[in-house]
Structure 1
Amino acid sequence: MSAPENVPSFAPDPEFAAQANAHADLYDIAADDRLAFWDEQARRLDWDTEWSEVLDWSDAPVAKWFVGGKLNVAHNCVDRHVEAGNGDRVAIHWIGEPEGDSRDITYAELKDEVSRTANYLTSLGLVAGDRVAIYMPLLPEVYIAMLACARLGLTHSVVFAGFSPAALRSRIDDAEAKVVITADGQFRRGKPAPLKAGVDDALAGNLDGVDGPADSVQNVLVVRRTGLDVEWTDGRDVWWDEVIPSQSTDHTPEAFDSEHPLFLLYTSGTTGKPKGIVHTTGGYLTQASYTHHVVFDHKPGEDIYWCTADVGWVTGHTYGVYAPLSNGAECIVYEGTPNSPDEHRHFQIIEKYGVTIYYAAPTLIRTFMKWGRNIPAQHDLSSIRLLGSVGEPINPEAWRWYRDHIGGGRVPIVDTWWQTETGAIMISPLPGVTETKPGSAMRALPGIEASVVDGDAKKVAAEEQGFLVITEPWPAMLRGIWGDMDRYRDTYWSRFAEEGYYFAGDGAKWDADGALWVLGRVDDVMNISGHRISTSEVESALVGHDSVAEAAVVGADDDTTGQAIVAYVILRTSAGEEVDHQKLIAELRAEVSREISPIAKPRDITIVPELPKTRSGKIMRRLLKNLAEGKEGGDTSTLSDPTIMDQIREKGTRG
C-alpha cells in the first residue's frame, strides 16, 4: 500500500491505554535483551521441562528455540484452563450456516472431546510424528481434531475444504498422511455441498496426472454434517459419531520437545508443487500466545473474540485456534458465508453475542463497503472495542470505513502483517500504545527485528521503496519446507544470504514519520516506461473514489511501455445503476493521476460485477492478467464462482 501524503495519524485513546495489556516499555525491554524478552514470553505457558537455551542459531537458517524444553500444546490450550477453575467458560460459540444451528462448548467439554478423539486416534495405531490430513468445513470437530493431534504429537496438515481433490491428494502424498478426517459435506450459501466425495476421488486417484491410490492412508474418519449420501469403503471409512462418543474422557497428554513438528501448512509457490511449511511446538505457541495477548488486548473472561478466517489458512490456525485458546478466549466460530442468508449475517452475530474483538481481511471489509453502510447501521455494534485487519495491505479508504462504520469511529484498528511462514504477527500497532495511520502496519512488534533494504541490503531512506526483511530469527518462524530443506534455503534466505536476512517477498517503505507501509508482493510491482509502480498503490487510489468498492490492478505486456496498467473495479451499491460508466472511468483515471502520477494512469479500466476470488477471498490476479493480455483464462476450479470470468467478459464495461 502506498503511503499517501499527509495521512493523519490517530493517537492512542487514553482510556483504552490505561487498561491495555501492552505498554510502551515493551519496545525498549525487547531491544535491550531480545532473548531475555522471549524467555519471559515463553513463561506465560505451562512447560513440563524448562529449556537450557533460548535460541540455538548455530545451524542457520534452521532455528531451535527453547532448546530442551518440553510442553504439550493441547494442555496449554485446554487442560490448564480447566485446572485453573475455568472449565465452565465457553471456549467455542459455534454458529452453523443454517440459521438456528449452533452449539456452545465449554473448556471442560472441549477437554473431554479432545481426550475422546485422542484415545480413538491412538486405537488406530498412530504414534507421535505420524501425519494426519484434515479436510473439513469450519465445525467444532475441526478444532477437536487439531487439538487431539497436538495432544498426541501427531503432525496435522489441514487442507482448506474449498480445495480440489487434486490439491488434497498432492498434500496427502507429500506428507504421507495415514489418516484423513473429513465430513460428508458442508453448507455453502444455504445449500449442502459434498466433501467426502472429493476425498474418495483423491484417495482413489481418479484425477488427471495421478497414478493409483494413496497408499499411505489407512483410515478416513467422517463427521456427519449435511446428511448427504456418501460412498463407503468398509474397513477404511468410519463415522465420527459411531466411534468418538464411546471413548474414554481420561487421557494424559504427553510433553513433547519444543521443536517437535506441530503442523504442516501448504502454501502455493509461484512455480512447482505447494510448499509444506513446517511449524513446531514451543516457539510457535509462545509467539502466537504473546501476540494475541498484546495485539488484540485480549482479556480472558471479558472479551468475545472473533477471527473470521477459515482454519484452512494460517490465520485460522494461529488466531482461530491456538493463540486464542492458549489465552482462555471465548471464541466465535461461524461455518458459513457472510451473506447467507443475507448481508446482515456477520452483524447479527456481533450483535447477538456481544463480540468485542473482530479480526477480518480487507477483502471482506471492502465487500461490506460494497453492500453499503446502511447494513451495519441497522445493528448494535457498540460491543466492539478493537478491530483487526489481516491477509494483505488494507487501503486507507477501507481502513477509515472499517473504523467509522464497524467500529463506530472510536475503536483502535490493528493492521497486522505476517505470513504462513512467520507463523504469527510480526508487524502491527499495539493498541493503546502505538499511533496508527490508515493503511500502515506502523512498526515491528517488540521482539521482532524488521527492516526495509535495497538490493544491496542497505537500509533505504524514507519514502523509498525497498525489500521487507526480517533481520533476526523469531520464535514462530518456519523450520523448513517438508522434505525439501534446499528449497527452504533457496526460497527464503538466498536473496540476502550473506546478511542472514529472511526475505518476505514483499516490498515496503517507511514514510517521513517512520511508519512502515507494506506495498505487497514484489512481483506485483509494475515497470511502466522505467517507472516502478506498485499494483496496490493504484488499487488504493481507485478505491479512494466514492463510487468504488474494490479494485484489482495488473501489469499487462505492452509494446510501447513494457507494461501497461490494467484495472478492474467493482462499484459500490450506492453508486446506483444509472451511473455513466465512461464518465466514471474518466474520473478514475484522473483520480489515479492526481493521487500518484500521470504515469500511473491505467491504460484500461473495466467496471465488473465481481472479481475472480477463491473461497478464501483471495483475488486471482493471474486470471485478470491473462484476460488483459488476451490469453486463455486458466484454471478456475478454485474460484468461489467458476463462471465469474465469463461474466466479466460479457458484462464488464471497458474504457
Structure 2
Amino acid sequence: MPTYEETYAAWAADPQAFWAGAAEDIDWFTPATHVLNPDKGVYGRWFDGATCNTCYNAIDRHVEAGHGDRLAVIYDSPVTETVARYTYAEAQTQISALAHVLRGMGVEKGDRVVIYMPMVPQAVFAMLACARLGAVHSVVFGGFAAKELATRIDDAAPKVIISASCGIEPGRVIAYKPLLDEAIEMSTSKPTGCVILQRETQTCDLTEGRDVDYAAAVGAAIDAGQGTECVPVAATDPLYILYTSGTTGQPKGVVRDNGGHMVALKWSMPNIYDIKPGEVFWAASDVGWVVGHSYICYAPLLHGCTTLVYEGKPVGTPDAGAFWRVMQDHDVVSLFTAPTAFRAIKKEDPKGALLADYDLSKLRSLFLAGERSDPATIEWAQDKLNVPVIDHWWQTETGWTISGNPLGLGMLPVKLGSPGKPMPGYDIHVLDDAGKEVAPGTLGNIVCKLPLPPSVFPTLWNAEERFLSSYMNDFPGYYATSDAGIVDEDGYLFIMARTDDIINVAGHRLSTGAMEEVLASHPDIAECAVVGKADDLKGQMPLGLYVTNDGAGRDAAELEKELVQLVRAKIGAVAAFKTAVAVKRLPKTRSGKVLRGTVQKIADAAEFKMPAAIDDPAILDEISEALTARKLIG
C-alpha cells in the first residue's frame, strides 16, 4: 500500500493522472473528454464531458453486484425508541418509489427540491431520490425558522418541498409543518407541491391540493411496482445546493457537482478513513450540514458501507453514554463527530465511567472535525477509547478533507492541535495580508492554490460575482479559506482561528484559538471561548468565557486567577489576557460551532442579528447577564 508521502507526491507530479485513476472506482455512463477542462469555470471543471448518476453509484450498482442484502442504512432514534434497518435492495425500492412520486409531481432533471427534514432515514432517501432523477436537492436543517427557510426557498426556487410533521429533541417536539407553511407564505417563489412525512409523535393537517402524504404515496408506488430509472446527468451538473451563512445575512448557496464529488468521496473512504465495504461507518452529524451530506448520505454508500442515521444527542438521550451504546449495538468501526460532542460527554462524565458499561471492541478510529479540536479533548478521547483520534479540517465549500491524517495510507504521527497535512488535491500556503508567503511557524491567511480538487464547489448558486469576491479575489490564483493559522517546518497545518477572529492587541496579531487551547488544558474546564473585546487603549483585549466540568465546584475568582496565570505562562504577557468569565453554557449552532462573533458583539454592546442556526437563543441572555454582573458591559 502506498504511503501518504508517495500518494501526495504522485498527485503533485500529475494531478490529472491521479484523479483519472481515482475515477476508475466510479461507474460512468459515458467517459470524460477532459479529466480537468481548464477552459470552463473559474479554475476548470472536473470530468467534463462525462455522464453519470450519483444514486446509481451509491445504491443500484451494489444491488447489481449481488450486494442487495447488505445493510445500507441503520436508523437509531433514542427519542422515539426506534431502530430500523434497510438493505441496499430495500433502500433502492424506497428511493425509486419516492423518485416516482416526485416525477408525478412534475420534478425533472435540473429542477430543485428543498428537503426540510429531521434525522430520519427518509431524509437520506429524499436526497438520493433527487439524485436519481437528476434533480438538485437543497437540504435545510429541520426546524430552521420560517424566515430563514423562506430565504432559501426564494434562492433555490424549488418545484417541490419534502418535509415532516415534526422533529423530536430531548424534552421537546418541534412542529415543522407550521414553520413550512409560514415560510411558503412568506416566499415569492412557491413550490407546486409538498411531500409530508407524518410522524406518530405529532401529526399535522395536510393542505388540500398541495400536500402529499409521504408514506401513503411511496407505499402505493411500491405496491404497484412503480419506480424510476437513474437519469444520466453531466458530471459537471449540480447534485445539490447547500446554504452556508453569509456575513451579509444572505446565505450563500454552495454548489456541488455530480462527478467530482463522487470521485473524491469514494477515494476518501479507504484512504483517509481506512473503511472497507460492508463495515459500519457513523458520522454523528445532521443531514442539514455538509458532514451529513458527505459522510452520512453519500460517501459510505458510494463505498458500499453501512451508514448510521442517529436521531439523538451525545448527552441527554438518555445520558453521556449514548454514543457508546450506539457504537456497541451496531458494530461501528469508525465514528466521525464534532469536538463539541466529546466536550459535552467529558463535561458530564469527566472520568469516562460510563464506558465500562459498553463493548467498543469493534471501534478502530475516531475522527473529529467541524470545530478546532483542542488537545485536551483529543487526549481525553485517546485515553478513554484507546484508538487513534484523528482531527481533520475541511469546509462546506470543499465537501471533504483539506488537511488530515490518512489512516488508510499509514497513520502519520499526531501533533496535538494540528489536523495534519494537506490531502492530495490541496496545495496549501500561508500568506500575509499582502499575499506574500510567510515563514514556517508564522501566523497568516490559509489559502489553497488553484485549481481546486474534485468535489470542491465550482461556484455559488446564482451568485458568480459573490463567489469571486468571497473566495477568489483577495489572493489571485488561490482559494481563500477565511481561516488563519500556521504551517510548521514538518508541513503540519495548525488552524488557529477564522481570519475575523484574529484579534489585534496593541499592534500584536493574536490567535484566539491559541488562548482557547491553553484554557481548555486546565483540568476543571469543559469548554471555552475567547473573543476580542473593544478596548480604548489597546484596540482589543481578549475576553475568555468558560464552562466547568460537572462537579468541579470551583470558586470563580480563584479559577480566573489560575487561567490568567496559565495563559501568561504558555503564551506570555503579550497576550494581555486578564479576564475569564464563568458561564453556564456557550452559544452554539446546531452543528456545535461556538458563535464567537455573536459573543463578541454582546461584549461590545453592538447590535447583532440572531444567528439562524443557534441551538438555544436563551444562552445569549445568559452571556449578557454574566458579562453585566462583572461590569464588562452595561
User: Which moved further from structure 2: 363-372 or 71-80?
Assistant: 363-372
Which of 445, 456, 459 is the equivalent residue of 1:477?
456
Aligned to 2:593: 618
Question: What displacement does 1:251 show?
Answer: 2.6
Aligned to 1:388: 367
* Residue-pair matches, total: 621
Which of 542, 562, 584 is the equivalent residue of 2:559?
584
Which of 33, 36, 39 is the equivalent residue of 1:58?
39
Question: What displacement does 1:28 show?
Answer: 2.2
Distance change >3 Å, CA 627–CA 70, structure 1 → 2: same
Question: What displacement does 1:22 show?
Answer: 6.2
Question: What displacement does 1:171 show?
Answer: 0.4
Which of 482, 489, 493 is the equivalent residue of 1:512?
489
Aligned to 2:376: 397
8 A contact 2:43–2:450 mirrored in 1: no
Aligned to 1:463: 441
Aligned to 2:575: 600
Aligned to 1:71: 52
- For residues 215 and 71 of structure 1, the distance between their equivalents in structure 2, rounded to whole angstroms, comes to 30
SS of the aligned residue for 2:620 comes to: helix
Which of 54, 57, 70 is the equivalent residue of 1:89?
70
User: Which moved further from structure 2: 61-70 or 639-648?
Assistant: 639-648
Answer 1 or 2: higher relative contact order, Cα 8 Å, separation at least 6: 1
Question: What displacement does 1:326 show?
Answer: 0.1
- For residues 21 and 308 of structure 1, the distance between their equivalents in structure 2, rounded to whole angstroms, comes to 30
Q: Percent identity?
A: 36
- Does residue 29 (structure 1) correspond to residue 10 (structure 2)? The answer is yes
Per-residue CA deviation, residues 281-330 of structure 1 (Å, 9 max, x unaligned), is: 101111111112211101112x2211011010111101111111100111
Question: What displacement does 1:633 show?
Answer: 6.6
Question: What displacement does 1:434 show?
Answer: 2.0
Distance change >3 Å, CA 521–CA 30, structure 1 → 2: same
8 A contact 1:136–1:183 mirrored in 2: yes
Segments of structure 1 that go 5 or more residues without pairing to the other structure are: 1-19, 206-212
TM-score, normalised on structure 2?
Answer: 0.94
Question: What displacement does 1:62 show?
Answer: 4.6
Which of 230, 234, 238 is the equivalent residue of 2:212?
238
Question: What displacement does 1:637 show?
Answer: 6.3
Question: What displacement does 1:528 show?
Answer: 0.5
Aligned to 2:402: 426
Question: What displacement does 1:629 show?
Answer: 1.9
8 A contact 2:418–2:495 mirrored in 1: yes
Per-residue CA deviation, residues 218-246 of structure 1 (Å, 9 max, x unaligned), is: 10100012442424320001110111111
8 A contact 1:417–1:427 mirrored in 2: yes
8 A contact 2:541–2:576 mirrored in 1: no
Question: What displacement does 1:177 show?
Answer: 0.8
Which of 619, 626, 639 is the equivalent residue of 2:614?
639
TM-score, normalised on structure 1?
Answer: 0.91
- Report the residue type matching 2:101 in the other structure: Y
Aligned to 1:315: 291
- For residues 188 and 94 of structure 2, the distance between their equivalents in structure 1, rounded to whole angstroms, comes to 29
- For residues 219 and 299 of structure 2, the distance between their equivalents in structure 1, rounded to whole angstroms, comes to 27
SS of the aligned residue for 1:337 comes to: coil
- Does residue 218 (structure 1) correspond to residue 192 (structure 2)? The answer is yes
- Report the residue type matching 1:320 in the other structure: I
Aligned to 1:40: 21
- For residues 246 and 319 of structure 2, the distance between their equivalents in structure 1, rounded to whole angstroms, comes to 35
Which of 508, 512, 529 is the equivalent residue of 1:531?
508
8 A contact 1:279–1:477 mirrored in 2: yes
Distance change >3 Å, CA 175–CA 250, structure 1 → 2: closer
Per-residue CA deviation, residues 386-410 of structure 1 (Å, 9 max, x unaligned), is: 11011122111111112211x32xx
Distance change >3 Å, CA 422–CA 636, structure 1 → 2: closer
CA RMSD of aligned residues (A): 1.8
SS of the aligned residue for 1:95 comes to: strand
Question: What displacement does 1:609 show?
Answer: 1.0
Aligned to 2:86: 105
Distance change >3 Å, CA 624–CA 215, structure 1 → 2: closer
Map 1:165-176 to 2 at 5 A.
165-176=146-157
SS of the aligned residue for 1:193 comes to: strand
8 A contact 1:190–1:340 mirrored in 2: no
8 A contact 1:153–1:256 mirrored in 2: yes
Distance change >3 Å, CA 265–CA 131, structure 1 → 2: same
- Report the residue type matching 1:628 in the other structure: A
User: Which moved further from structure 2: 171-180 or 245-254?
Assistant: 245-254
Per-residue CA deviation, residues 14-72 of structure 1 (Å, 9 max, x unaligned), is: xxxxxx78654212221221110000011111111011111012245253111111111
SS of the aligned residue for 1:427 comes to: strand
Question: What displacement does 1:603 show?
Answer: 3.4
Per-residue CA deviation, residues 186-219 of structure 1 (Å, 9 max, x unaligned), is: 11004322111100110112xxxxxxx5443110
SS of the aligned residue for 2:94 comes to: helix
Aligned to 1:11: none
Aligned to 2:392: 416
SS of the aligned residue for 2:296 comes to: helix
- Report the residue type matching 2:610 in the other structure: D
Runs of 4+ in 1 over 6 A off after TM superposition: none
Segments of structure 2 that go 5 or more residues without pairing to the other structure are: none
